[in-house]
A and B are shown apart, each in its own frame.
Chain A
């Protein structure tokens, strides 16, 4: 199949003529190069154009919107929520919080500056985005309960592309656990192109957890751009197993002193699933810390990719940066590609990286079997143990137990 595009700005509602012009410019720029191919360094392990060609014969942004009413709520812990269908806010609830401390509204393109991007998916998002939320937490407000963003999808998304933009702003001293929860067990091939802009004020703390709850033929791309002020902390946990294709690209700018970020992922891929995590951590200020731990378990002919870059500016002395990727390759046809990069201009820094891949430890399997545990279960126990290490930074025990269950389900579903 060779896909053709049917992208139409006119179908997007409530646009001023100015906006239409700006969007058209972005679309024209997109058309110049189309979806990225492996010739582009950033996409060398994920030839998006080729993958879309294989799986789509036409791609259209004309989605018949119909909100999905059967909202499945997580029962394991109390939480606030925002419910989205195709990225648009359907409802929200902050019953556990002081409501005047939180602003939630539809994302407005007018409020954001479109960065001139060489990333064609960003251009496409600028041109076609419809739907998204904008969340702002007031100064010094620490949410009492986590916030779950439920991502539901309408039916009939075959050959459609959804473009969403979200903004998350935590003002000085505020704290939030945000769980981005995807429930999309559709057989239809569809594309979701999301951009999250995250801003953390001084001392703000955000834990951002991405969960895919079901097997899906979704082809997802998510670009997260974070900017951190003094002593703020941003943690990402990526538990997105189940998607046919997923690329999560995270750019974090440690703009002020003592800010820190960490990225953890725990993926267990089957069939021809393909997931890439690409990170760029910019240490733009002294005394900042970054930590990355990527864990992939690859079955069948699945493919895991990690491209991680740590960039240290000349002024960013006393930087402490670390990245590690580990893959368990359980089948000869599975593949793991890792490209760690360090670019350092300061001279007093501590930066290290490591990458390993290998098969499961047969001595460990033997040990477990001598304790009466059948081989299949022993292997699952080891996979679980391997992936669970990515949850080491979760201190909230309710959430930790929940995430352990999510991982267990992702491992046992096959």
Chain B
């Protein structure tokens, strides 16, 4: 699904990722943990195609060289990034945004675009699964949403676009326990043999709900340790400082 080899990324001539290797196979859930400034969000940004990064190394996504894909093509090919800080976009109606997004992806995949009625039926179902009030769908995108509502909206988009590979960038931050459980249930219900996940987080908390197959510790731009789900629990006790 995703194969990263010796990835180096710098922004404003500052090297952040210093040779990162990572392979995620279909159906696997990987978690990346690490202290502040270790490069976790940079990895998410680079994968999403955000401007401003100088990149070296190889990233292969589902058979394509990721750097050859435009940002929208990554999404169309089945990559999804749930943002750490989902943007507020005034004036843009959430429903219209969701429909435009879904239809862009469907069109690229050679599927029929949905008409408004079919779309509304679908989105209402998906929103209900995540306990999202329908009223949010007719509001401006993320404007005035609480932190938890914004994160739920990201998971709603994930479930709508049905990606093969989802990156959750600190999706647990700013969530209360109830919202965390809803988000985790949303992810778990979407997990299957084909779909892979990369979960970026500071804390073990989210991993109590979404069980990873592998945990990687990122420190100073490199993966310094890889283990199974138990590594997270160990880290919670000992902290990152004792690893090296």
Q: Which residues of A contact B (CB under 8 A)?
A: 362-364, 366-375, 377-378, 381-382, 384-389
Q: Which residue from chain A places its CB closest to the CB of B80 in the assembled complex?
A: A370
The answer for the CA separation of A24 and B71 in the assembled complex, in Å, is: 66
Q: Which residue from chain A places its CB closest to the CB of B143 in the assembled complex?
A: A385
Q: Which residues of B contact A373 (CB under 8 A)?
A: 72, 100-101, 104
Most buried by B among A369, A371, A373, A385: A371
Q: Which residues of A contact B204 (CB under 8 A)?
A: none
Interface-facing stretch out of B29-37, B83-91, B187-195: B83-91
The answer for the CA separation of A377 and B87 in the assembled complex, in Å, is: 18
A372 to chain B, nearest CB (A): 4
The answer for the CA separation of A368 and B49 in the assembled complex, in Å, is: 12
Is B104's CB under 8 angstroms from A377's CB?
A: yes
Q: Which residues of B contact A362 (CB under 8 A)?
A: 51
B120 at the interface (CB under 8 A from A): no
The answer for the CA separation of A377 and B92 in the assembled complex, in Å, is: 13
Q: Which residue from chain B places its CB closest to the CB of A392 in the assembled complex?
A: B91
Is B89's CB under 8 angstroms from A372's CB?
A: no
Is A374's CB under 8 angstroms from B104's CB?
A: yes
Q: How many residues of B contact A (CB 8 A)?
A: 31
B108 to chain A, nearest CB (A): 7
Is B92's CB under 8 angstroms from A374's CB?
A: no
B50 at the interface (CB under 8 A from A): yes
Q: Which residues of B contact A378 (CB under 8 A)?
A: 72
A387 contact from B83, B91, B161, Cβ within 8 A: B91
B38 at the interface (CB under 8 A from A): no
B97 at the interface (CB under 8 A from A): yes
Q: What are 29 inter-chain pairs, A to B, with CB distance below 8 A?
A: A362-B51, A363-B87, A364-B89, A366-B48, A367-B86, A367-B89, A368-B97, A368-B101, A369-B70, A369-B71, A369-B72, A370-B74, A370-B83, A371-B97, A371-B104, A371-B105, A371-B157, A372-B75, A372-B101, A372-B108, A373-B72, A373-B101, A374-B72, A375-B72, A381-B100, A385-B89, A385-B93, A386-B91, A388-B93
Q: Which residues of A contact B92 (CB under 8 A)?
A: 381-382, 384-385
The answer for the CA separation of A387 and B90 in the assembled complex, in Å, is: 10
Q: Which residues of B contact A374 (CB under 8 A)?
A: 70, 72, 104
A384 contact from B51, B86, B91, Cβ within 8 A: B91
The answer for the CA separation of A364 and B140 in the assembled complex, in Å, is: 13
Q: Which residues of A contact B97 (CB under 8 A)?
A: 368, 371, 381
B116 to chain A, nearest CB (A): 12
Q: Which residues of B contact A387 (CB under 8 A)?
A: 91
B81 at the interface (CB under 8 A from A): yes
Q: Which residues of A contact B48 (CB under 8 A)?
A: 366, 370
A370 contact from B81, B90, B140, Cβ within 8 A: B81
Closest 9 CB pairs of A and B: A385-B91, A385-B92, A372-B75, A371-B101, A372-B105, A369-B71, A372-B104, A367-B87, A369-B72
Is A369's CB under 8 angstroms from B89's CB?
A: no
The answer for the CA separation of A387 and B93 in the assembled complex, in Å, is: 12
Is B83's CB under 8 angstroms from A367's CB?
A: yes
Q: Which residues of A contact B140 (CB under 8 A)?
A: 385
Is B75's CB under 8 angstroms from A366's CB?
A: no
Q: Which residues of B contact A364 (CB under 8 A)?
A: 87, 89
Is A366's CB under 8 angstroms from B51's CB?
A: yes
A377 contact from B75, B90, B100, B141, Cβ within 8 A: B100
A206 to chain B, nearest CB (A): 26
Q: Which residues of B contact A363 (CB under 8 A)?
A: 87
Q: Which residue from chain B places its CB closest to the CB of A386 in the assembled complex?
A: B91
